[in-house]
With several copies, the nearest count.
Chain A
């Protein structure tokens, strides 16, 4: 395949970059005024089925080895960061609920977030403080980073495994909200219990 000068530049910039790049960053490095996206999609198509693939993760692009070759390439490599079970669960809770406060994480896990859990995830560059919740105490809330998406091969948070099913099943709602929903549902089914339910809520 012969490429235009612009496409060659985009390819070279991505190849030489030290990390994932946004189209704007690529344009700046390649000194291109035109839109980069068509080149990126053309390149991604071109690399489909090759040993290397061009992928987009959270709006940033990078080259990586093809995922289906992992069975061969994996064996000589050491496991990256081994996370504790607590850290894995905490990361999952942040990713699926973000932004989320520490108290909310603790409510789901039923235990305090141990020291060394959030800081391990922050040190890995997977989570970041993302402002404060405007409730009494103004707790800090946490969210995932673009590096999280890159590391786990997610184009966006919508690609989190099973997130749509969990949302549809209400499993990402806080328990109070879930209870309310259930009550209003049962209200529809049975008007008579209405008063009693409201009493219980109070």
Chain B
């Protein structure tokens, strides 16, 4: 970070440099026509991750890193993010507050230092960063090994060996505990569930479809009768209810239905004259 560049460029630079890893999906989204940047906090997995990314920009061995410089980098980053109205999760601000406290402690004369000493806190932070970095590297090296199914291959369809038992039942531990989880989830008391689920009842659907049907004269796709909503759950409920409503109205002779093929759009038309209204 040099002092000359405008603040936004500086931040862009940092973000790009920090996010060289292609695994991190689009952490920075620029909203067109607006000066607001959104740093998705998913780009970093929490403040420790961001700290580690910042530490890497010091371009020294992690063991030699200056914690004070790192604290300043973090605080500056958060400050700029706030100025640019970037969205930051609360834990980033909690970390910022803690680091600010650490920084003031580190700058105090040694006699006036609180207990536990800022040096000890800094050392702990240092150790945490080293451990995270070590595991990150270990993970990368692990993934880079010759892996079965990618680099080396076993026989895809072996004959299998004769077994003493005639039937071999198969189930994995994962399936077992997953099944238990689902039983528990299924049978746990559900109290506030129904109220939260937006649904369209059959009565509402019949009322709505017959009302709208009065305004149509030609074949009309069933989807045109659905209420406008962005909620996919409500939309599905409305579709199901409206479909049943259409069937009910057809049964009553109030509507004619037409469908070209299975899963093709369902068309509705008011029943032709002469039919019971």
Contact = CB atoms under 8 A, between A and B. Distances in A.
B188 interface: yes
Interface string A111-140: 100000001101111101100000000000
Interface size class on chain B is 35 or more
Interface of B is mostly: helix
Contacts of A169: 134, 181
B219 interface: no
Nearest to B52: A110
B159 interface: yes
Interface string B161-184: 111000111111111111111111
A163 B117 CA distance: 32
B29 interface: no
A166 B136 contact: no
A179 B148 CA distance: 40
Interface string B128-154: 101110111111111101111111111
Interface stretch (B40-48, B198-206, B224-232, B259-267): B40-48
A3 interface: no
A91 interface: yes
A15 B153 contact: yes
Contact of A93 (B49, B153, B183, B190): B183
Contacts of A65: 152-153, 159
B160 A200 contact: no
Contacts of B183: 89, 92-93, 108-110
Interface in A41-83: 62-67, 70-75, 77-83
A172 B173 contact: no
A188 B176 CA distance: 26
A171 interface: yes
Nearest to A55: B152
Interface of A is mostly: helix
A119 B148 CA distance: 21
A177 B181 CA distance: 11
A17 interface: yes
The interface centre, meaning the residue of A70, A89, A193, A199 with most chain B CB atoms within 10 A of its CB, is A89
Nearest to B101: A200
Contact of B160 (A74, A91, A95, A178): A74
A175 B131 CA distance: 9
Contact of B142 (A12, A15, A91, A173): A91
Nearest to A15: B155
B21 to A, nearest CB: 8
Given A64-B154, A171-B131, A173-B185, A162 B120 contact: no
A81 B116 contact: no
B110 to A, nearest CB: 11
Given A16-B154, A161-B142, A200-B121, A179 B127 contact: yes
Given A91-B142, A176-B185, A200-B116, 19 more contacts: A18-B156, A63-B154, A64-B153, A65-B153, A82-B171, A85-B23, A88-B171, A88-B179, A92-B142, A96-B180, A108-B128, A110-B48, A119-B174, A126-B169, A163-B138, A163-B184, A176-B190, A179-B120, A193-B94
